[in-house]
Amino acid sequence: MDYFLTEEQQMIRDTAAQIAKEKIEPLALEYDEKGIFPWDIVKVLGDADLFRVFIPEEYDGLGGGAFEMSIVVEELSKACGGIALAYAASGLGIIPIILFGSEEQKKTWLPRLASGEILAAFALTEPNAGSDASAIITSAKPDGDDYVMNGTKQWITNGGEAEIYTVIAQTDPSRGARGSSAILVQKGTPGFEFGKKEDKMGIRASATRELIFQDCRVPKTNRLGKEGMGFMVAMKTFDQSRPGVAAQALGIAQGALDKAVAYARQREQFGRPVSSFQGLQFMMADMAMQLEAARALTYQVARNIDAGVKNVAGISAMAKVLASDAAMRITTDAVQIFGGYGYMKDYPMEKMMRDAKITQIYEGTNQIQREIIAMHLIKESMRKEG
Amino acid sequence: MNIVVCIKQVPDTTNIRINPETNTLIREGVESIINPFDMYAIEEALRIKEKIGGKVTALSMGPPQVAEALRTAISLGADEAILLTDRAFAGADTWATSLTLAGAIRKMENIGLILMGKQAIDGDTGQVGPGVAEHLRLPHITDIRKIEEISEKEIVCERLLEDGYLRLKAQLPIIITVVKEINEPRLPSLRGKMAAKKAEIITWNAEYIGIPVEEIGLNGSPTQVLKIFTPPKPGGGKVFEGEPADTVAQLLAELKTGGIQLGAAKEE
Ligand SMILES: Cc1cc2nc3c(=O)[nH]c(=O)nc-3n(C[C@H](O)[C@H](O)[C@H](O)COP(=O)(O)OP(=O)(O)OC[C@H]3O[C@@H](n4cnc5c(N)ncnc54)[C@H](O)[C@@H]3O)c2cc1C
């Protein structure tokens, strides 16, 4: 389907697609198997200006937004959802700086992030605060011109690899969710260490680590937005980044569908290609329909975000759920189409199925996303009744 | 210093087909690319510029659509692109091509280094690099796999041989041709692509270069292609499988039936 990309957007897509095919695909299985963080690919993406696409021009970006980021994530994910995540998670860390950063903070960080020289990360989750993000206990105690941070963030993508972290911490625990703030912490700050790298089911080329704060002192000027706005920063960031997760799901699913169709055409059983069996044809048709519907929604949501539409939380959640649920079904069916070969590590299918799963879990599980969608429905209904 | 890279647009031979009746390439539907060896030359030129400064000029002879190849060179980082296009250039063999390129290079100033790929994947002659050098009365080194040192005055490089390499030092200006071991070409960046879209491709014709028309194009080409054909595939070999003792015995028997004298070899 034609989504009427501008010439520049088409250029972005072509550039990302070429890197996916020529640079990422040949490494995908090895990096997954060995859990190698793709610094070499990050360099290629940076040199190609791909980190610039969603960063404002004043800070060495190319001035695009969620849509441009989504196209890149989708293309890269066709080859490897894990490697693509180094890019997407940096985006997640960059969005709050764009949305809430002071001029000074933007000038300090965005140009280096735009070039791909350094990566960013975003840290909200803790061992006892997942879906219930208001339960976070990592503290940032005001002390003169500084905050003194203590606590542990868990499962932080790009942890240990990124240079700059947006960390949501309690600056005033007595106020609960209203007492949290978003604080930029640079790698190497005394008292800021990393835990072990997690051994994961999928997206294994992505690094997931704990962030450990022990009397870590950061200046108050590192705060993004006002004190007490931490939760808001997190929610607004997710509203913008969810199309990125949706795009990751779309890419993985498209990669799986393309491979499944190609395989079904050449695999012969009962004297003819298995693609000639209606049982598989119906499956492929369903995969394609779900994928295209999810893509249409994701693109439109991203365009809404970039056009500055207010209250995108509901539609942003819809795109994330629709695309990630579709990706899980599509990759599972793609394994099915490959039969036993699909189950073997020599083929990319089982990896794509493992990679797809995370998109239903992170940046808010699909259950939590459905809650967000329902809350909007209910609020809207109440508003209509007055 | 001006660093010139000569590039050729060629059909993408990874999916080329040959018309069995005429024995010529089927060009319809075949994408045009920059000759892969020239991509290494562009990359090396850019690296040299990044190291010692200067200007990279991409130069190509061909029909107007070759401008696309030159735009790709600009998207990769070339500063300037010159297209030699004129009906009079058509049908040139390697002699006329190198004479034309040499004529164009003579029009440029401050030439330090001229780079080319070791050969083009469509003609596979490898003659144009040395040809340009002879026409310009410049030294040349072909098949360079590594540039160890380069300045505006001299170059130290490694020239690939079948069984090793030669380490050579030479004065600039010089013409060099490169092999694929020399580097890994970069991909174009978005900013590069945007610049390339807007870039002006400078066009020169035969008159501007100032070589008489009877010396260029088909008129100036001493080579005549009489026939192009696909050579017959060599006959398939025979593979003997099994334990060495058995396979050796089978091989000997086969050679014997083939009437080959086994001399002192003893059968067991
Ligand atoms: C690989 C990976 C990378 C990650 N990267 C980051 C990162 O970069 N930054 C970051 O901050 N976090 C990150 N996370 C954390 C991720 O966002 C959380 O895992 C996610 O929000 C869910 O939290 P949880 O795992 O604690 O699950 P829980 O909240 O414990 O949920 C368990 C189950 O209960 C369900 N559930 C919970 N509450 C409700 C409810 N109210 N209604 C219905 N069902 C409910 C959930 O949907 C889920 O099925 C990452 C996680 C993983 C696995």
User: What would the pLDDT profile of B144-172 be if each residue is shown by its tens digit?
Assistant: 999 999 999 999 999 999 999 999 999 99
Q: Is the CB of A208 under 6 A from ligand 1?
A: yes
| Whether A59 and A34 share a structural domain | yes
On whether residue A1 sits in a domain, the answer given is no
Q: Of A104, A119, A134, which one is at a domain's C-terminal end?
A: A119
Residue A165 domain-assigned (yes or no): yes
CB B148 within 8 Å of CB B157: yes
Instruction: Tell me if ipTM is over 0.90.
Output: no
Residue of B nearest to A47 (CA): B189
Regarding whether A258 and A373 lie in a shared domain, the answer is yes
Residue A268 is assigned to a structural domain of this protein: yes
CB distance A195 to ligand 1 below 6 Å: no
B 171-200 residues with CB < 8 A to A: 186-194
Backbone angles phi, psi at A211, to 5 degrees: -110, 125
**N- to C-terminal Cα separation, chain A:** 41
DSSP 3-state assignment of A142?
A: strand
A126-139 residue pLDDT tens: 999 999 999 999 99
- pLDDT tens profile A269-327: 999 999 999 999 999 999 999 999 999 999 999 999 999 999 999 999 999 999 999 99
Does residue A287 belong to any structural domain of this protein? yes
The fold for domain B2-215 equals: Rossmann fold (3.40.50)
CATH number at residue A173: 2.40.110.10
Shared-domain flag, residues A248 and A379 = yes
Residue A234 near ligand 1, beta carbon < 6 Å: no
Tokens encoding B267:
């059968």
Mutate to test the pocket of ligand 1, among A157, A194, A365, A372 (most ligand atoms within 8 A of CB): A365
Whether A152 and A222 share a structural domain: yes
A321 inside domain: yes
CA dist B138 and A6 (Å) reads 48
Q: How many domains does chain A have?
A: 3
pLDDT band at B264 (very low <50, low <70, confident <90, very high): low
User: Do A373 and A264 lie in a common domain?
Assistant: yes
Q: Where are the domains of chain B?
A: 2-215
Query: Model confidence over A230-262: pLDDT tens digits?
Result: 999 999 999 999 999 999 999 999 999 999 999
Q: Is residue A161 within 8 Å of A171, Cβ to Cβ?
A: no
Alpha-carbon span A139 to A121, nearest angstrom? 18
Q: Which tokens belong to B70?
A: 């030159």
For the segment A349-363, the average pLDDT, to the nearest whole number, is 98
Q: Is residue A288 part of a domain?
A: yes
Beta-strand pair A180-186/A164-170: antiparallel
Average pLDDT score, chain B:
91
Looking at A88, A119, A150, which one is the last position of a domain? A119
> Is residue A242 located within the same domain as residue A365?
yes
Domain range for A294: 238-384
Residue A184's identity, in one-letter code, is L
Do residues A348 and A279 both lie within one domain?
yes
Residues A276 and A328 in one domain: yes
Please tell me whether residues A376 and A296 are part of one structural domain: yes
Residue B47 touches partner A, C-beta closer than 8 Å:
no
Query: Could you say which of A74, A126, A163, A363 is catalytic?
Result: A363
The verdict on residue A115 lying in a domain is yes
A150 and A269 together in one domain: no
Beta strands A272-273 and B80-84 are: unpaired
Instruction: Tell me if A129 is assigned to some domain.
Output: yes
Using an 8 Å Cβ cutoff, are A208 and A174 in contact? Answer: no
- A215 vs A164: CA distance, rounded Å: 18
Q: Active site includes A363?
A: yes
Radius of gyration of chain B (CA): 23
Instruction: Indicate if A12 and A111 belong to the same structural domain.
Output: yes
Predicted confidence (pLDDT) per residue in A322-348, tens digit: 999 999 999 999 999 999 999 999 999
Do the Cβ atoms of B7 and B42 come closer than 8 Å?
yes
Inter-chain residue contact B193 with A15, CB threshold 8 Å: yes
Which of A204, A230, A256 is the C-terminal boundary of a domain?
A: A230
Are A152 and A211 members of one domain? yes
Residues B194, A52: C-beta atoms closer than 8 Å: no
